[in-house]
Chain A
Amino acid sequence: MDIGASGVYFFLFLALYFEVFLLISFFEKQPSKKTDARPSRYPTVSLIVPCYNEEKTLAATVESLLALDYPKEKLSVIIVDDGSTDGTPKIASLYANHPQVTSMRKENGGKYTALNMGIEATHAELVGCLDADSFVAPDALIEAVKKFEEHPDTSAVIPAMKVHGPRNMLELMQAVEYTFGIFVKKMFDNLATIYVIPGPFSIYRREVFKVAGMFRHAHNTEDMEMAFRMHEHGLRIRNAHTAFVYTTVPSSVRALVRQRTRWSQGFLQNSMDYKHMFFNSRFGHFGVMVLPVVTAAFVGALYMTAYALYTTISWAGGRVLDHYATQVPPTLALPRLSWFYVDTSTMTLLIILVMSMTLTAILLGRRIAGANFGIGSLLSYFLLYGFIAPLWLAKAFAGAALSKQSTWR
């Protein structure tokens, strides 16, 4: 076996190990079904909407927050305009006289500064934020509050995210990816290892900011850094898998790669900042399992892509040179219809197994979230993801290596 293939086996082993670990976690504690139960108490909640040039979606976002099934006197919305240059202030001014809405404006300073401004302006028990490109299900807040009530040690609750109205192949691919994410987040909740508190509708106890501090720039991934910091302070993050948030996703490869480069590079750079947590059992499964495995998955995905590219190019290049040297005309060989010629190598079987387990996780995520997508979406995911993801992984890797600042937009 050549060294290249040994590396592939190593990463396949890691991938299988991680998937088995997650599936065991699933069978240990299966997610509960949604109930109509109400919380016994309604804590005060402030939802911050940081926005920068969101004139198209801001109104819908605010409306979805105001439509939340929650006592009005307990719920307030804080719009923080981070120095928008479009019509965002005009949209925000529409809510000037709304009793539940406060509107603030500041010079552009980045999302984390907008969030901090909103946090400082409220005394509510629970503070949430919602990116202006997302919409919440009416009962999402109730479901999140129930989670705080059910587990009083909870410091933050993250929702289950779904893609809002996916249409093209890229959006369908992301819809499946988010469903996979729903499964992974639930399992990370079981293991107390949630490492991102996504912008769309995550709810914090106010004390979090006193204990762990306010949001930081954190390589443009303040929500990830906050999660790392919470783990450092032993603060528990939980997932309310019945609290649904719908987010709009990039519809072009370019926009998607830019978004994911920011996320991935943020992960790498935050991991560097918190490297003392790696393999540190003081931080539980987060330090021992999730941080090392996610980092290894990053390297593994790049390695496998490089290996696949190298073998394909050297094979194709070899064939071209062969045809040139032999003068044998290229023939379009049809696959031979016999099991004898089917690739049944250990590596192929393992790749099929890893993909089957990924499919199982996606289907479990679909069951947990009650998501609905068809074969077309699944095909988009399995056909496209492997080709597009390496683009942002490579960009993020290069960016982190050169300590380049990723861009928001």
Chain B
Amino acid sequence: MNIDWRKYALTLLITLAIFGTAYYVASRFDAARVSEIRATEEKIALDILSTETQYDLLGELDCETIAESPVLSSELNTLASQLSVAEGNLGDDNPQVVTLKKQYSLLEIKDYILLQKVSQKCGIKPVHVFYFYSNAGDCPDCDRAGDVLTYLRQQYPDLRVYSFDYNLDLSALETLIDLKGVRDELPAFIINNRKPIYGFRDLSEMEKLIPELKTLATTSASRR
């Protein structure tokens, strides 16, 4: 029986083209995500720069303005969730993802520094947690520790959680790790500049470790 092998070849070409197109479209979506993250980072960087410049100009911060627009932009939270999506799609060793994470970490550190200034000048008592994790496969509890902090941040919108990839090759982050004396026993937490705490803590343990949470408004309270 005669077989038209050209048809098999043509089908193969079309199928490969469809596969290629699907891959291309998926990568365009990922590229668009990276662009969106970059745009958000730029906006946050601009916000922080603006506040810093305002400080430099006036020699002091306009506490009223600051109170109206909190230093930690809520966009930093959005950025965190967007970054984790990009990390899931592109892989945590993707160069673009690593760059975005470095920028994000720098923004967190700058936000923290600014927060310190604001709290001194304006007499506010922010509650913040440094959270150090690792994606290198040496921290089985890190995802769960992240879940606990994410939940707390949802419950207490004014709680500032700064999360850092301990192994990120970023000099500013290394300085912070040295300054705070954080060992590579992850997950690690620093609550309101106290001594580092190591190891996983469940929700109730974490709440006990942050007694300042009682001073913060909860989402259920703010909804009322």
Give residues in A with beta carbon < 8 Å to B: 13, 16-17, 20-21, 24, 192, 234, 281-285, 288-289, 322, 325-329, 331, 340-341, 344-346, 349-350, 353
> Interface with A: B15-23, B47-55, B63-71, which one?
B15-23
| Residue B14, interface by CB 8 Å | yes
Given the known inter-chain contacts A344-B25, A349-B26, A353-B22, please indicate yes or no for A328 contacting B15, CB distance below 8 A. Answer: no
CB-CB nearest in chain A for B30: A344
The reply to whether B89 and A16 contact each other, CB–CB distance below 8 Å, is no
If A16-B15, A282-B1, A349-B22 touch, whether A341 touches B85 (CB-CB below 8 Å) is yes
19 A–B contacts, CB within 8 A, in A order: A13-B15, A16-B19, A20-B14, A281-B3, A288-B8, A322-B147, A326-B202, A326-B203, A327-B204, A328-B151, A328-B203, A340-B33, A340-B36, A344-B25, A344-B26, A345-B89, A346-B22, A346-B23, A349-B25
Give chain A nearest CB distance to B215 CB in angstroms.
Answer: 22
Q: Is B195 an interface residue (CB 8 A)?
A: no
Distance between A297 CB and nearest chain B CB, rounded to angstroms: 15
Does the CB pair A340–B1 fall under 8 Å? no
CA separation between A281 and B30, bound complex, in Å? 44
Complex Cα spacing A17 to B16, Å? 9
**A284 & B15 in contact (Cβ 8 Å cutoff):** no
Contact among B1, B7, B36, B147 for A192, CB-based, below 8 A = B1
Main secondary structure of the interface of B (DSSP, over half): helix
Scan B78-100; emit 1 where CB is below 8 A from any A CB, else 0: 00001001000100000000000
Q: Would A344 and B29 count as touching, CB distance under 8 A?
A: yes
B144 within 8 A of A: yes
B150-201 residues at the A interface, CB under 8 angstroms: 151, 200
User: Do B7 and A322 touch across chains, with their CB atoms under 8 A apart?
Assistant: no
B122 partner residues in chain A, CB cutoff 8 A: none
Q: How far does the alpha carbon of A329 sit from the alpha carbon of B15 in the complex, in Å? A: 46
Q: Which of B26, B148, B204 is the most central at the interface, judged by chain A CB atoms within 10 Å of its CB?
A: B26
For residue B142, give the distance in angstroms from its CB to the closest CB of chain A.
12
**In the complex, A308→B160 CA distance in Å?**
38
Instruction: Find out whether the CB atom of B3 lies under 8 angstroms from the CB atom of A322.
Output: no
**Cβ distance A276 to chain B, nearest Cβ, rounded Å:** 15
What residues of chain A lie closer than 8 Å to B144, measured between beta carbons? 322, 325-326
Q: B147 near A284 (CB under 8 angstroms)?
A: no
6 further A-B contacts with Cβ under 8 Å, apart from A327-B202, A328-B151, are: A234-B1, A325-B144, A326-B203, A341-B85, A346-B23, A353-B18
Nearest 8 A/B pairs, CB to CB = A284-B1, A344-B29, A346-B26, A327-B203, A349-B22, A328-B151, A17-B15, A327-B202
Given A21-B11, A340-B82, A344-B25: A328 touches B1 (CB 8 Å cut-off) = no
Q: Mark B1-15, 1 if CB is under 8 A from A, else 0.
A: 111000110111011
Whether A326 lies near B147 (C-beta < 8 A) is yes
Q: Are B12 and A17 in contact (CB under 8 A)?
A: yes
* Cβ-Cβ contact count across A and B, 8 Å cutoff: 75
Q: Check if A340 sits within 8 Å of B89, measured CB to CB.
A: no
Counting CB contacts under 8 A, is B143 at the interface? yes
Closest chain-B Cβ to A188's Cβ sits at a distance in Å of 14
| Cβ B151 vs Cβ A350 within 8 A | no
For window 89-129 of B, CB contacts with A under 8 Å fall at 89
Known: A285-B3, A346-B23. A340 touches B85 (CB 8 A): yes
User: Nearest Cβ distance between residue A190 and chain B, in whole angstroms?
Assistant: 11
Complex Cα spacing A192 to B29, Å? 42
Q: Which residues of A contact B29 (CB under 8 A)?
A: 344
- Contact indicator B18/A16 (Cβ below 8 Å): yes
Task: Decide if A20 touches B15 in the complex (CB within 8 Å).
Answer: yes
A128 → chain B, closest Cβ, in Å?
Answer: 26
Measured CB to CB, the closest approach of chain B to A313, in angstroms, equals 18
Smallest Cβ-Cβ distance to B151: which chain A residue: A328
* Contact between A350 and B19, CB atoms less than 8 A apart: yes
CB distance from A288 to the nearest CB of B (A): 6
Contacts of B89 in A (CB 8 A): 345
Instruction: Please name all residues of chain A whose beta carbon is closer than 8 Å to the beta carbon of B143 when the two chains form the complex.
Output: 322
